[in-house]
Amino acid sequence: MHNRKGVGFHAFFVDAMIRLAHFLPSVFLLTAQAAFAAAPPAQPMRLERASTTYLYADPISGLQLTVPTGWRVRAETLNGIRQLRVVPPKADQRERAAIDVTIRLRPWLSGETLAKLAADYREQDGDREAAQTVHYQPKAGRLVLDYREGRYVSDQLWIVRRNLHIFQREDKRRVLEARCAANASEFKSYRKNLQLLCYSAQFAKGRL
């Protein structure tokens, strides 16, 4: 009699454990779903990004341009004309790439026009190759040139330079000239910065 009761209790206990094992996962799943539904949606992370450029404005000439952070602008006078020279921060940019960026507002030369400049640069002239790009926009008064030219440096080393050269007509008396150059072998590495400098150059208003 005692054995039968023990066997019956054991069967009841095993059956209860089996039912509980089936029931608990459902409870945990419902609890997790409820907690997930009640939780506020995750917010995307907002990363503050440092500015990679700055606006430089020369109050005397009225010239202004967008400059990569770390690059310096200095004003100088060449042949009586004030111009801005942009200097890159790293030695290899100044030496191996020989980056040279100048922006100036100058008088038109006698007989000089954008149309004539476009025609001239389409042809080879001495050590300067015919321009790869001649983009002349008469209505906008803009001429964009991309060309290569060679020159000797120290130890009679022949170096090929690549130039992004932009002329922007301001009025009948003056033209804005922006030239961004580097050694041809290095130009591609700095193309974005050179294009930024040359294309952003403009005349606002100055005291000259």
Q: Has residue 140 got a pLDDT over 60? A: yes
Answer yes or no: do 107 and 8 share one domain: no
Residue with tokens 């294009």: 195
Answer yes or no: do 129 and 169 share one domain: yes
- Could you give the number of structural domains in the chain? 2
Answer yes or no: do 37 and 57 share one domain: no
Domain limits for position 125: 53-203
User: Which amino acid is located at 140 in the chain?
Assistant: A
Answer yes or no: do 28 and 87 share one domain: no
Q: Per the structure block, which two tokens stand in for 113?
A: 């026009």
Answer yes or no: do 146 and 108 share one domain: yes
Q: Residue 199 domain-assigned?
A: yes
Residue 120 confidence (pLDDT): 97
Sequential DSSP letters for the chain: -HHHHHHHHHHHHHHHHHHHHHHHHHHHHHHHHHHHHHSPPPPPP------SEEEEE-TTT-EEEEEETT-EEEEEEETTEEEEEEE-SSHHHHTTS--EEEEEEEEPPTT--HHHHHHHHTS-BTTBPPPSEEEEETTTTEEEEEEEEEEEEGGGEEEEEEEEEEEEE-SSSEEEEEEEEEEHHHHGGGHHHHHHHHHH-EE-----
Q: Residue 37 domain-assigned?
A: yes
The model carries a pTM of 0.73
Q: Residue 47 domain-assigned?
A: no
Q: Residue 77 domain-assigned?
A: yes
Q: Residue 137 domain-assigned?
A: yes
Q: Per the structure block, which two tokens stand in for 82?
A: 């004030």
Answer yes or no: do 24 and 61 share one domain: no
Residue 208 confidence (pLDDT): 52
Q: What is the pLDDT of residues 89-116, one digit of tens each?
A: 998 898 888 999 999 999 999 999 999 9
Answer yes or no: do 101 and 150 share one domain: yes
Q: What gap in Å lies between CA 79 and CA 197, rounded to an integer?
A: 23
Answer yes or no: do 166 and 142 share one domain: yes
Region 201-208: mean pLDDT is 77
Region 129-156: mean pLDDT is 93
Q: Residue 153 domain-assigned?
A: yes
